Structure 1
Amino acid sequence: MATVLVLWLWLGLGISAAAKTSLFLWNWIWTPLSLVRSCRRQGIAEHPRSLPIWQLLSFSKFVRLNLDSWTGLIELGHQEKVFYFVAGTKVRMSIRDPSLVRQILIDNATCYSKPSFIRSLKILGNGLFSASGDLWDNQRQLLGRIFHTKAIKNHFESILTSALKVTEMWGNELENNCREVDINQEFLDIMVELIGKIAFDADLSIPSGNLSMISKSFKRYLHNKWQICFGPAATIPWYKILNMHLVKEIYEDECQLSNLVKEVIKNRQCSNASTLDEVDHDPILIDRLLDAKSLVSSCNISTGQVLDNCLTFLLAGHETTSSLLSWTVYLLSLNQLWQERARAEVQEFFSWHMHWKNLTNLKLINMILFESLRLFPPQPVIGRHCMKKNLVGEYEVDKGMEILIPIAALHRDQDLWGDDANEFRPSRFANGINGACKDPSAYLPFGTGPRTCIGQTLALTEARTILAVMLDNYAWELSPAYKHYPHVTLTLQPKFGMPILITKL
């Protein structure tokens, strides 16, 4: 009997080992090789021709946008319109042709899901940003109403109040009428506070210092996840087991942020918020989710999706706008004439009566924000994972291929934008996006197609309001301590912060 049990045990272990070995060979050898063969068969260029670990390092440089100066070019992405490279188990195809990009993001959108990096963000679960198929479609329908212009107009006073409060705080802390401020961290904190008010009707600044804790925790979480997807873990099997410190930090941040949002949800449930049945009621995000969970809405969702979406909008709602504002302030630091022109417009149309209607008159501000989005798009690379073989132009994209669309390279393509593509020239948008570029579909700061960023109107409203209030109260220039290092995890942020010297007017 004992002998039989031992034999069964060994047989079970053998089958398990064989299954794991087969899975390893399939994921790490067979699938990548078959995708590489497909690319080579179609004559797609390989960049660079080297071992996968070196390709990974080059890719990190490509995504990181490690520019020597603000006018610098991305080193990779300008060599070929279409090329592929290997990083561990992933074969990625970079596409920088507007017509092909349209097919991927619009015409063939149902053939693609979010890329491996987004799907690895456990904290986002099956929220709107990371979900695919019917799961995504239901959530998009459910939450679309919240981001209509009418609903955002109702939040204008909250946005304006936060902007006035923080600028007044800076003024109170000025010494000798000048002070150094890390404007990137300030914007991150403002946006966390604002998304708390707008999406959850909650004050996330309690306890003291909570805003910075939230933004820094998200930043560390995204950085660590990026290391797992694009660092050594992407090319070295079982690397995560060797780096338990990294895994521990990820787990701690997931728990901390999840517990914070769970508490917000619990408090909202206890407050007996109004239901969606009320006439002319524009619900905030958390109410919309909770009512859908309670089957008040036809688009019912699970308890997990309520948490996933709250975390999604807390993350995306503060990262995107803070990125846009930070790089706009940076560009206006280097272009003082445009800063003065923008300030004159604010003082003429907005500062005497800070109202939603007057905000729409800030044409120069809009042009400056559009140009900032062009030069430093919040999401400089859009990724997609192919779920179904499809034809993109003359190229056959196989299932399992990951697509990269280098938005930053498209936005600086001289064939599309002219010889001054790397220069800060907001006047190119004087006649709108159609007049700024040979192919308007090459301008993708918020993506395009069915998965266009749902919160772009809110982000632009927040950016216009905060920038207008800042221009009305302060002049600024870059601090000598600033180190230029655009860094990408989920969005494009200055890796070492953005210290500026502000002077009260």
Structure 2
Amino acid sequence: MKLHFLSPLLILLLAAVIVLKKFSSFVVLLLLCLFLYFCNILWVEPLRHRWKLQSQGIMGPQPSFLYGNVPEMQKIQSAGTKAGNHGEFIAHDYTSTLFPYFEQWRKEYGPLYTYSTGNKQHLYVNHPDLVREMNQSITLELGKPSYVTKRLAPMLGNGILRSNGHIWAQQRKIVAPEFFMDKVKGMMGLMVETAQPLMRKWEASIEAQGGVVAEIRVEEDLRSVSADVISRACFGSSYFRGKEIFSKLRILQKTIANQSVLFGVPNFGFLPTKKQKEIRSLEKEIEQLIWEAIKERGQECSEVSLSEKDLLQLILESAVNDHHVGKDSSKSFIVDNCKNIYFAGHESTAVAASWCLMLLALHPEWQARVREEVAQVCQDGVVDADSLPKMKTVTMVIHEALRLYPPAAFVSREALEETQIGHIIVPKGVCLWTLIPTLHRDSEIWGLDSNEFKPERFVNGVSNACKVPQAYVPFGLGPRLCLGRNFAMVQLKVVLCLIISKFSFSLSPSYRHCPAYRMIVEPGQGVQILIQSCKQG
């Protein structure tokens, strides 16, 4: 035990003794219990976790009292470069800019180390063998970190993205079947229909800008398409009905993202800040809008047969009929899961599509290959379920884009009970972090060209693309693998095939490469492309 751990406690204890002499024995006992309670939470428990990890040979940066390694993280972050770049000199490795502290510690301590933020001890896990162990684990004892999900509660409630244990398992049982591949294939016609207005909008932009080339900023248009698909496929309503919900969710996402969800420093303030009041107000507005949509949808579906019921109707019925939910909590159960599906169902897919277009704009040869494939496998140019398995080239492009730019930057878990991962015993309460973009760029796994855009590495599928296939985790890992991955992959194929079959495009000179972490990794200043009709290209 080192002196810098003891000194603050000795000072606090001495001050407590002086003050307590003036109070009655009952008050003294009460205050002493509170003092010991906070000492245990803020000092003893984190230190015990750290010693347990260090006894297994896991080292890391030395923490400060109360704040852990947060001051060092903030110092390293502020010193990081934030300049964008563009054109052919785009560097795809952004981890040293967005998460410089993780990269600095990884170089110093290797792919397995420990650090702390406030009273939370963390285990950074980017060793491929341990990631494989986590991928193959089926335990419910690894859940979402409570301190992170608490900050995301206004956005996600206690829905499937945030819940743990049996509550999570119950929600997944209800939601997952709607995203099985046979159901997703049945949505392809809807996806094609929903994307057609985007094609017409971009064609009109070309005409409006001279009839040859138009500059388009793609991300908001792609968000609109993705939001419309998830609304109509799962909730039976168009994007225009839910436009206000999506707009407010986007504002709420940006507001929450301005707070650091990674540092986890205890907040002892009792009065809500202006930012917290803004978040609560948005949360209430979104919940009210969703509940109104739910009631309206419930009336529409009152006479619908079982085979025609959409996801929202199934959630309604499951919440009412399931004795684990109960009538009192059924409203929050429904609203929370709707928020999760609204957010996860369109935001990540739209961002992934934006990154795909950015990469394809840099590599017109891959546009040509996808265009040729669409002409060959899609009869009369129609993208349908029969052509889906034949889309090898566009699948390779999407896999490579998700390797270089996975929307989810982390796999984060908390040991809800003491858990073993490989040879490591993880104490209860320790949070585990796997930095996905670093794992996806490990040259020992992917080769010396790991920072290059080379879709051909997936020509024989994910299992043959690298030395450790379990290290490819754009949709997460283990039992909490993203249940919407089939939906996202099919939608990406549909949208990309339609765009590439109609347009050729390159990056606009106004594009600035600036990945930003806002709960997901997105283009910080948007993606601007120059498009022209393929008939003119």
Q: Tell whether the structures are fold-level matches, with TM greater than 0.5.
A: yes
**Partner in structure 1 of residue 253 of structure 2:** 219
- Whether 1:53 and 2:70 are equivalent positions in the alignment is yes
- Whether 1:109 and 2:136 are equivalent positions in the alignment is no
- Give the distance between the partners of 2:452 and 2:361, measured in 1 at CA: 14
Give per-residue Cα distances to partners, 1:44-68, cap 9 Å, x unaligned. Answer: 1214777623333278689999987
* Alpha-carbon distance change, 71 to 298 in structure 1, aligned in 2, over 3 angstroms: same
1:235 is matched with which residue: 265, 268, 274? Answer: 265
SS in structure 1 of the partner of residue 433 of structure 2: strand
Using the TM superposition, give the Cα deviation of residue 34 of structure 1 relative to its aligned residue in structure 2, in angstroms: 1.8
Using the TM superposition, give the Cα deviation of residue 378 of structure 1 relative to its aligned residue in structure 2, in angstroms: 1.8
- Give the distance between the partners of 1:312 and 1:83, measured in 2 at CA: 32
- Give the distance between the partners of 1:118 and 1:391, measured in 2 at CA: 23
* Alpha-carbon distance change, 478 to 496 in structure 1, aligned in 2, over 3 angstroms: same
* Alpha-carbon distance change, 98 to 186 in structure 1, aligned in 2, over 3 angstroms: same
Q: Which amino acid aligns with 1:57?
A: Q
**Partner in structure 1 of residue 387 of structure 2:** 358
Using the TM superposition, give the Cα deviation of residue 317 of structure 1 relative to its aligned residue in structure 2, in angstroms: 0.5
- Give the distance between the partners of 1:191 and 1:346, measured in 2 at CA: 21
- Give the distance between the partners of 2:74 and 2:303, measured in 1 at CA: 52
2:293 is matched with which residue: 264, 267, 291? Answer: 264
1:289 is matched with which residue: 312, 315, 340? Answer: 315
* Alpha-carbon distance change, 67 to 38 in structure 1, aligned in 2, over 3 angstroms: farther
SS in structure 2 of the partner of residue 493 of structure 1: strand
SS in structure 2 of the partner of residue 109 of structure 1: coil
- Give the distance between the partners of 2:300 and 2:26, measured in 1 at CA: 54
**Partner in structure 2 of residue 6 of structure 1:** none
- Whether 1:387 and 2:410 are equivalent positions in the alignment is no
- Give the distance between the partners of 1:59 and 1:118, measured in 2 at CA: 25
1:349 is matched with which residue: 377, 380, 399? Answer: 377
**Partner in structure 2 of residue 335 of structure 1:** 363
Q: Return the TM-score normalized by structure 2.
A: 0.83
Using the TM superposition, give the Cα deviation of residue 266 of structure 1 relative to its aligned residue in structure 2, in angstroms: 1.2
Using the TM superposition, give the Cα deviation of residue 246 of structure 1 relative to its aligned residue in structure 2, in angstroms: 1.7
* Alpha-carbon distance change, 111 to 152 in structure 1, aligned in 2, over 3 angstroms: same
- Give the distance between the partners of 2:333 and 2:267, measured in 1 at CA: 31
- Give the distance between the partners of 1:443 and 1:205, measured in 2 at CA: 36
SS in structure 2 of the partner of residue 434 of structure 1: helix
**Partner in structure 2 of residue 130 of structure 1:** 162
1:187 is matched with which residue: 218, 222, 228? Answer: 222
- Whether 1:120 and 2:120 are equivalent positions in the alignment is no
2:128 is matched with which residue: 83, 98, 106? Answer: 98
- Whether 1:250 and 2:301 are equivalent positions in the alignment is no
Q: Which moved more, 1:182-191 or 1:24-33?
A: 24-33
Q: Which amino acid aligns with 1:24?
A: F
- Whether 1:148 and 2:168 are equivalent positions in the alignment is no
Give per-residue Cα distances to partners, 1:343-370, cap 9 Å, x unaligned. Answer: 2222332362332212332110000001
Q: Which amino acid aligns with 1:333?
A: A
Q: Equivalences for 1:63-82 in 2 at 5 Å?
A: 69-72=90-93, 74-75=95-96, 76-77=102-103, 78-79=106-107, 80-82=110-112
**Partner in structure 2 of residue 324 of structure 1:** 352
- Give the distance between the partners of 1:63 and 1:218, measured in 2 at CA: 27
* Alpha-carbon distance change, 216 to 127 in structure 1, aligned in 2, over 3 angstroms: closer
Q: Return the TM-score normalized by structure 1.
A: 0.88
Using the TM superposition, give the Cα deviation of residue 91 of structure 1 relative to its aligned residue in structure 2, in angstroms: 1.6
Contact 2:226–2:350 (8 Å) recurs in 1: yes
Q: Which moved more, 1:424-433 or 1:193-202?
A: 193-202
- Give the distance between the partners of 1:66 and 1:58, measured in 2 at CA: 18
SS in structure 1 of the partner of residue 386 of structure 2: helix
Contact 2:253–2:519 (8 Å) recurs in 1: no
Q: Which amino acid aligns with 2:335?
A: L
- Whether 1:210 and 2:238 are equivalent positions in the alignment is no
- Whether 1:170 and 2:198 are equivalent positions in the alignment is no
- Whether 1:29 and 2:61 are equivalent positions in the alignment is no
- Give the distance between the partners of 1:61 and 1:346, measured in 2 at CA: 46
Using the TM superposition, give the Cα deviation of residue 178 of structure 1 relative to its aligned residue in structure 2, in angstroms: 2.5
- Give the distance between the partners of 1:360 and 1:105, measured in 2 at CA: 26
- Give the distance between the partners of 2:196 and 2:62, measured in 1 at CA: 50
**Partner in structure 1 of residue 485 of structure 2:** 456
2:339 is matched with which residue: 311, 315, 318? Answer: 311
Using the TM superposition, give the Cα deviation of residue 318 of structure 1 relative to its aligned residue in structure 2, in angstroms: 0.9
Q: Which moved more, 1:426-435 or 1:344-353?
A: 344-353
Using the TM superposition, give the Cα deviation of residue 13 of structure 1 relative to its aligned residue in structure 2, in angstroms: 7.7
Q: Which amino acid aligns with 2:319?
A: K
Q: Which amino acid aligns with 2:364?
A: Q
SS in structure 2 of the partner of residue 454 of structure 1: coil
Contact 1:55–1:86 (8 Å) recurs in 2: no
Using the TM superposition, give the Cα deviation of residue 428 of structure 1 relative to its aligned residue in structure 2, in angstroms: 0.6
SS in structure 1 of the partner of residue 240 of structure 2: coil
Contact 2:245–2:290 (8 Å) recurs in 1: no
Q: CA RMSD in A?
A: 3.0
- Give the distance between the partners of 1:466 and 1:305, measured in 2 at CA: 32
- Give the distance between the partners of 1:66 and 1:445, measured in 2 at CA: 26
Give per-residue Cα distances to partners, 1:408-443, cap 9 Å, x unaligned. Answer: 111111101111111111011111111111111111
- Give ranges in structure 1 of 5+ residues lacking alignment: 1-8
**Partner in structure 2 of residue 490 of structure 1:** 519
- Give the distance between the partners of 1:32 and 1:130, measured in 2 at CA: 24
Identical amino acids, percent of aligned pairs: 25
- Give the distance between the partners of 1:407 and 1:54, measured in 2 at CA: 24
- Whether 1:86 and 2:92 are equivalent positions in the alignment is no
- Give the distance between the partners of 1:479 and 1:197, measured in 2 at CA: 33
- Give the distance between the partners of 1:467 and 1:63, measured in 2 at CA: 34
- Give the distance between the partners of 1:478 and 1:67, measured in 2 at CA: 14
Contact 1:65–1:74 (8 Å) recurs in 2: no
- Give the distance between the partners of 1:17 and 1:256, measured in 2 at CA: 41
- Give ranges in structure 2 of 5+ residues lacking alignment: 1-22, 97-101
Contact 2:218–2:526 (8 Å) recurs in 1: yes
* Alpha-carbon distance change, 386 to 236 in structure 1, aligned in 2, over 3 angstroms: closer
Q: Which amino acid aligns with 1:399?
A: K
Using the TM superposition, give the Cα deviation of residue 485 of structure 1 relative to its aligned residue in structure 2, in angstroms: 2.0
Using the TM superposition, give the Cα deviation of residue 142 of structure 1 relative to its aligned residue in structure 2, in angstroms: 1.8
**Partner in structure 2 of residue 408 of structure 1:** 437
**Partner in structure 2 of residue 434 of structure 1:** 463
- Give the distance between the partners of 1:321 and 1:372, measured in 2 at CA: 12
Contact 1:474–1:503 (8 Å) recurs in 2: yes
- Give the distance between the partners of 1:407 and 1:108, measured in 2 at CA: 20
Using the TM superposition, give the Cα deviation of residue 147 of structure 1 relative to its aligned residue in structure 2, in angstroms: 1.0
Q: Which moved more, 1:104-113 or 1:416-425?
A: 104-113
